[in-house]
Structure 1
């Protein structure tokens, strides 16, 4: 395995780097794999140690490997702090573009779904299945009607839809917003993409919750940003950790999902929210508040105020219809200062990412439909029942927080073993799709279980598969 064909036209240390990158690309080396000790590897490659050390130093600087005294050198399992915007690696431009990064585990899940779709139990997908999407009829609109509606649209979106969202945010969250502070986007990810491309600069440092689904998004690294882990407790992000990150790395922006957080489903408490906006205002660091799940609360208790309500000027708020109307809806919105909305809207226009009038008109119709509130109520009740069904299937001894809203349950697995990313392959062997903790940026024995697709028919089989997995894990 460890062999290079030396050529005089390329420095030997660069050939070693290329060999390692090739092995990672084809799956011969996986995240967490340990490579031989330096002296042993130099002998296997038939190179001197100084040449090998130079190659390893560059691989380490790129974040491809991690070197720790006592534990050896391993292929990196995460991307915390990695800066990918320093240079263009044309050699892998097509096969490893920033938006094509996929983990071997995700590839295995996709392959399993393709090969045996009927035998797989999917608790990994974070999207609504078809049967939970609202059965709201669309209006009979002519082509001329849509063309006429274009007169009600500016670069920031369809005016009637912005009015509907303004009224909905005021009604649901007591947040008052002007129309020039609302930006309609093609889903939440377009809003995130435009923020990273237009408001930040390559090399900037940002903080995201740990664990967080933000970690799995390639948009941050594609923008050349360095991402740093912001640890959490049961009340939300730890503010002392944020202060340390700011002092050490000069954090330029904080990204949080404070309500029914993905993947933990925890909700940040009001005191922590107040302290967070106060701290960020003090250090002049903007907050991006992603809020896809707040409409899906399972309780009648009032929710904590949005960060946007607590500090309207320093918070960019992102909402979306994808979690209540299906991912194909592709309608989201950003609430921010008018100058920011204008900047992002103009940038989208320059990129030719204009948003079609069709989904905006239809979304406005759905949000104003008399059956919309009924659908939301029904969806909450249905998701709560599926949450309870999932919990009833869990074997004793597993630790979890009962989610009070959203889609997900965060479950701690037996921790008395040495977990690596390969340890989670046992779920694939049992054709059970889950989202391991390492996909969210932490190295812990934990999984995210999404209950949107669980039904009575699969629940019994899921129970036995999971119990078999836990028994095997405990026996190791």
Structure 2
């Protein structure tokens, strides 16, 4: 049975692969069948053991065989591994793509929320509930009216919306910018995607905060970028660490979320912002400033200046409406040098990732509605109240930094035990959805709780579940 007719047309290891595939197709080998041990099979086929191992490696990678130490090599019983004629093994493709798959923990959360929606307490979702989204009516525009608005759009976005954003940024942040320096995107992630695809190349090194929600994004891996963690303290990223990373790995770009940072909700100090901008200008490394939460400040004190204000030339600024109008809004903007805006806009057009005129017209209407500013004030007050309510119901032993904006609370659990990734499954067992620290790139006993979706009827249960978990 185990015999190949050697030919120079194909490498020997490929002939072995073809032989085993043919035996499976004709039924000589069935799912679960064990094939001879490597040394024995190599002797039977009259080939070197290394040649056989190479063939088995390929069959294993394609899911056709399974190899387990102590149990030998068997024909796969998994439905993806059964070879039924000349069919593509799609599992190989869906598991080998450059975009990261969801982590097992996130999959478990989704499954739990799907199976027991009424029993689950959701403190993980990073989105506003419907009742906190602005109740602003849409304009009464006909289809022809929408189409007519396309005359006011270029590759970088809808002109009236760009004007509104220019005025809003000038009013709220004292940042002056020209219309050719504004790029409208379908959310912040499109801006990040275009930056990674157009301004960086595969193999480039970037620095991102640690912890950071950036670790949950696949866009950096898909671009083939090398990611280096930039440690933080209470004032923001540590600049001595950044300089070391630059000298060791030649960092090409720094990504930060300096205002109400996700997940810690910390805000980088003015002094640290100025020093960061100065250092990056010195080493000629551009900064990407992601700013989704600055509209949600709870304090009456003046917020630190945007990095974009401190250094307009070296900072790409990304804003978004998703945290105040819901993620389905899909409207964001990037402020940068005109040459960068033109490059990104042209690239988006080439990729056919064009942005529809409809959400842009609606976003412009909402931002200019007199009720929008009133809603933001109400939303700030509501979120501050929900923050205080959640804090009041945290059990003893949980420590935290009180956020002055946003809608996340970064909590530290007692360190009287080692927390491995699998240990956080206990939250799922209690049907309490939280975001563990390992999802943000660090291994420590910390969790992110979102108070935007807080239901006051669940407070006692939250307190009891957390107390049970940390005292177990």
| 1:193-228 alpha-carbon deviations (Å, 9 max, x no partner) | 000000000011100000000011000001101100
Aligned pairs for 1:50-199 (under 5 A) are: 92-99=92-99, 101-199=101-199
Counterpart of 1:365 in structure 2 is 365
Asked if structure 2 preserves the Cα contact closer than 8 Å seen for 1:437 and 1:447, the reply is: yes
Matched, 1:12 2:53: yes
Look up the match of 2:77.
none
- Cα 1:230/1:18, change in 2 over 3 Å: farther
**C-alpha distance in 1, partners of 2:53/2:323?**
51
Residue in structure 1 matched with residue 201 of structure 2 by the alignment: 201
Q: Does 1:405 align with 2:378?
A: no
**TM-score where L is the length of structure 1:** 0.83
Assess if the C-alpha contact under 8 Å between 1:400 and 1:410 holds in 2.
yes
Checking the alignment, whether the CA contact within 8 Å between 2:208 and 2:227 is kept in structure 1 is yes
Q: Where does 1:40-51 land on structure 2 (aligned, <5 Å)? A: 44=70
Q: In the superposition, relative to structure 1, how do residues 147 and 274 fare at CA in structure 2: closer, same or farther (>3 Å)?
A: same
2:307 corresponds to: 307
For residue 432 of structure 1, report the CA deviation from its aligned partner. Answer: 0.2
- How much has 1:99 moved relative to structure 2? 3.2
Q: CA separation in 2, counterparts of 1:420 and 1:45?
A: 29
CA distance in 2, matches of 1:440, 1:21: 31
- 1:356-435 matched pairs, under 5 angstroms: 356-435=356-435
Question: Counterparts of 1:16 and 1:46 in 2: how far apart (Å)?
Answer: 13
Report the 3-state secondary structure (helix = DSSP H, G, I; strand = E; otherwise coil) of the residue aligned with 1:260.
coil
Partner of 2:84: none
- For 1:449, the equivalent position in structure 2 comes to 449
Q: Number of matched residues?
A: 413
- Between the aligned partners of 2:131 and 2:168, the Cα distance in structure 1 is 25
From the CA coordinates, give the structure whose radius of gyration is larger. Answer: 2
1:112-151 CA distances to partner (integer Å, 9 max, x unpaired)?
A: 0010000000000001111111001111001111111100
Which runs of 5 or more residues in structure 2 are unaligned? 1-33, 74-88
Root-mean-square deviation (CA), in Å? 2.4
Q: Return the alpha-carbon distance in structure 2 between the equivalents of residues 359 and 407 of structure 1.
A: 25
Matched residue SS, 1:318: strand
Contact 2:61–2:92 (CA<8 Å) still a contact in 1?
no
Structure 1 unmatched ranges of 5 or more: 27-40, 48-88
**How far off is 1:97 after superposition?**
2.8
SS in 2 for 1:391: helix
Task: Say if 1:372 and 1:93 are closer, same or farther in 2 by CA, change over 3 A.
Answer: same
> Quick one: distance in 1 between partners of 2:325 and 2:239?
34
Instruction: Give the drift of 1:463.
Output: 1.2
Match of 1:60 in 2: none
Asked if the contact 1:254/1:285 (under 8 Å) is kept, the reply is: yes
Q: Would the aligned equivalents of 2:156 and 2:341 in 1 still touch at CA under 8 Å?
A: yes
Bigger Cα displacement from structure 2, 414-423 vs 291-300: 414-423
Q: Secondary structure at the match of 2:227?
A: strand
Answer yes or no: is the 8 Å Cα contact 1:331–1:360 preserved in 2: yes
How far is 1:12 from its partner? 2.6
Question: Does the 8 A contact of 2:161 with 2:361 survive in 1?
Answer: yes
1:465 corresponds in structure 2 to: 465
Match of 1:272 in 2: 272
Cα distance change, pair 93–176 in 1 and its aligned pair in 2 (3 A):
same
Q: Equivalent residue for 1:225?
A: 225
What do the CA deviations read for 1:377-434 (whole angstroms, capped 9, x no partner)?
Answer: 0000010111011101101121110011001000011212222110100000000000
Would the aligned equivalents of 1:410 and 1:446 in 2 still touch at CA under 8 Å?
Answer: yes
SS state at 1:319 partner: strand
1:283 is matched with: 283
What's the CA shift for 1:20?
9.1
Helix, strand or coil for the counterpart of 2:296?
coil
Q: Secondary structure of the residue that 2:231 maps to in structure 1?
A: strand
**1:99/1:222 contact within 8 Å kept:** yes
SS of corresponding position for 1:255 = strand
**Is this contact kept in 2: 1:288–1:317, CA < 8 A?**
yes
Instruction: Give the aligned partner of residue 38 of structure 1.
Output: none
Change (3 A) 1:340 1:120: same
SS at match of 1:371: helix
Deviation, structure 1 residue 92: 2.6
In 2 relative to 1, CA 107–369 (structure 1 residues): closer, same or farther, beyond 3 Å?
Answer: same
Distance 1:253 1:163 in 2: 28
Tell whether the 8 Å contact from 1:4 to 1:45 is kept in structure 2 after alignment: no
Q: 1:100 to 1:241 in 2, by over 3 A?
A: closer
> Residue 173 of structure 1: CA displacement?
0.2
Alpha carbons of 1:93 and 1:397: their partners in 2 closer, same or farther (altered >3 Å)? same
Cα offsets for 1:59-86 (capped at 9, x unmatched)? xxxxxxxxxxxxxxxxxxxxxxxxxxxx
Give the structure-2-normalised TM-score.
0.84
SS at match of 1:300: coil
Q: Distance in 1 between matches of 2:321 and 2:381?
A: 18
1-structure distance, mates of 2:120, 2:224: 37
Q: Cα deviation per residue 1:227-251 (whole Å; 9 max; x = unaligned)?
A: 0000000000000000110011110
Q: Distance in 2 between matches of 1:153 and 1:372?
A: 24
* Matched position secondary structure for 1:295: helix
What is the match of residue 211 of structure 2? 211
1:1-31 deviation line (CA, Å, top 9, x unaligned): xx99757697537856986997xxx9xxxxx
